[in-house]
């Protein structure tokens, strides 16, 4: 049995900093939406595990998150699951689009399918990466928790489109009210700088 699964990129539609934690990082809220741009991961049972990739540059097999995802699911079931992987990499690495985490989620789904496993992928995904659980189903979700330097998010829950439109409308109105107050007071516009630690 061979499967080919899309590993979709995501966008962060907004970002709200809730407060600073004692460790110097920040608690945040962000709405994430999966998009059409995707990598393609092919997987098939094999006598031994192998990993190949084309397209954009990715880490070698030993360091690639696809192989790390396989190791995590093997640890969960307590046996080897030799798998042949081929990744077509189209999501630009390091662009904040979640490409690596999405590849990991696709690997977990593929291995479960081709090896006929009865496992809870959500529990395994969290050990691979903090936002890997989101990519198991994609769609739209609200992420809450501590934002480390590389978008490490926790606490996903489903958010329907109607509610998302309401959130966007409320944030737009809040921004308009804030801009009006700023103009009335004569204060200059504040600029946020891109650091997660202070």
Catalytic residue set: 10, 131
Asked whether the beta carbons of 34 and 138 are under 8 A apart, the reply is yes
DSSP per residue, 43-102: EEE-SS-EEEEEES----GGG-HHHHHHHHHHHHHTS---EEEEEEE-SPTTSSS-HHHH
Question: At 148, phi and psi to the nearest 5?
Answer: -85, -175
The closest alpha carbon to 134, from 10, 43, 2, belongs to 10
Q: Tell me if residue 112 falls in helix, strand or coil.
A: helix
Q: How far is CA 67 from the centre of its chain?
A: 17
Task: Report whether 6 contacts 38 (CB < 8 A).
Answer: yes
The structure tokens listed for 18 are 């809730």
């Amino acid at each position: 049995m061979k499967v080919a699964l899309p590993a979709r990129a995501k966008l962060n539609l907004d970002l709200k900093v809730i407060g600073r934690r004692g460790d110097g990082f920040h608690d945040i809220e962000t709405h994430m939406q999966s998009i059409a741009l995707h990598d393609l991961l092919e997987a098939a049972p094999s006598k031994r595990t192998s990993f190949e990739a084309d397209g954009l540059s990715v880490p070698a097999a030993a360091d690639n998150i696809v192989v790390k995802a396989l190791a995590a699911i093997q640890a969960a079931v307590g046996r080897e699951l030799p798998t042949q992987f081929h990744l077509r990499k189209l999501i630009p690495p390091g662009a904040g689009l979640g490409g690596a985490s999405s590849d990991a989620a696709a690997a977990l789904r593929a291995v479960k399918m081709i090896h006929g496993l009865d496992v809870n992928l959500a529990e395994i995904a969290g050990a691979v990466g903090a936002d890997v659980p989101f990519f198991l189903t994609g769609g739209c979700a609200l992420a809450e928790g501590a934002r480390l330097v590389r978008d490490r998010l926790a606490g996903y829950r489903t958010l329907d489109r109607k509610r998302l439109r309401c959130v966007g409308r409320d944030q737009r109105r809040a921004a308009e009210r804030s801009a009006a107050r700023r103009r009335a007071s004569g204060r200059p516009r504040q600029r946020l700088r891109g650091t997660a630690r202070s």
